[in-house]
Homo-oligomer: A and B are copies of this chain.
């Protein structure tokens, strides 16, 4: 597939510097690009690569345009325009409509038009699959599941009974949606299992990475809003509610019954405790622990970057003796007060 810069400029409202007939057929990094490639500059860290790029064109901002040695497309949001162009140059492979003979699809299951069901798939009774959905190899879908149109499940996904996914969702390999929440009641004879009778309801345009877990609700449902994006190995516990457009990076977890607002950005390896509320437009930096509700938008953090181990041992020891240090400070204060008074 080839696109001309003129087409791109018109389609996405960019200002074009250069020949509108210049054609691009692939994307590349500024450093790795050659003829026919289109690159982008959205992060100042890569600005140094601009001068020597051999790309046929670059997508960048007004500020960077004067330094661009090749044709360029100017836009306030180069990364998003790059994403759109890349989507056009690398379209999803077309579906091969039909059910593979090795798939086991219950008779009481509605498949929409143009659906592709790959080898080894198992689909239960009462399930409804929207038009043009893609069900990747060895995926398991339980009973009474609802899948919106154009949704794609990659290989080995598991959807438990009763789960609902919207349209245009993408769920990556190994992800499990609808497993039991961690509901156990202590008793004199040990743990009593608390049946998890809620389900999971996922909106439209949601992408979930590989090997994630999204548990079903204990009574009410676990809910992900439209356009929520989860990276790999994210854990969403029962009855969590995540607002629209919120993105959560890899290995983060949200404990039970917590509500996260819209347009939040949760970094990687973040742990959010249960029964909390996080406001809209909150960013939590990687490795942060959220143990209290956050009611104001803003950027939140709490991480100590590693130090040379010997140095850290001293710091940690000091921290654990802070009480003694505070005591000494109080003693000094009163000593100084006495001295001052004695004068």
Chain A residues in the interface with B (C-beta under 8 A)? 27-29, 32, 45, 77, 79-80, 82-84, 86-87, 89-90, 100, 102, 104, 118-120, 122, 136-138, 140, 142, 154-156, 158, 160, 170, 172-174, 176, 179-180, 182-187, 190-195, 197, 205, 207, 209-213, 215, 219-220, 226-227, 229, 231-233, 235, 237, 244-245, 247, 249-251, 253, 255, 268-269, 271, 273, 275, 284-292, 294, 298-309, 312-316, 318-320, 322-323, 325-326, 328-329, 332-333, 335-336, 339-340, 342-343
| In-complex Cβ contact of A339 among B210, B292, B336 (8 A) | B336
Q: Give 12 A-B contacts (CB < 8 Å), ordered by A residue.
A: A27-B219, A119-B122, A142-B155, A180-B207, A213-B250, A233-B233, A271-B287, A302-B304, A304-B319, A315-B323, A339-B340, A342-B343
| In-complex Cβ contact of A300 among B104, B186, B307, B316 (8 A) | B307
Asked whether B174 lies within 8 Å of A174 as measured between CB atoms, the reply is: yes
Q: How many copies does the complex hold?
A: 3
Residues of B near A173 (CB, < 8 A) are 140, 158, 160, 176, 179
| In-complex Cβ contact of A232 among B27, B207, B215, B271 (8 A) | B215
7 more CB-based (< 8 A) A-B contacts, given A89-B195, A289-B306: A82-B194, A118-B122, A120-B138, A140-B173, A155-B158, A290-B306, A302-B312
| In-complex Cβ contact of A336 among B140, B197, B335 (8 A) | B335
Taking the closest CB of chain B, its distance from the CB of A291, in whole angstroms, is: 4
- Would you list the 10 A-B pairs with minimal beta carbon distance, nearest first? A291-B305, A300-B306, A140-B155, A104-B119, A158-B173, A179-B210, A182-B231, A269-B271, A318-B322, A80-B185
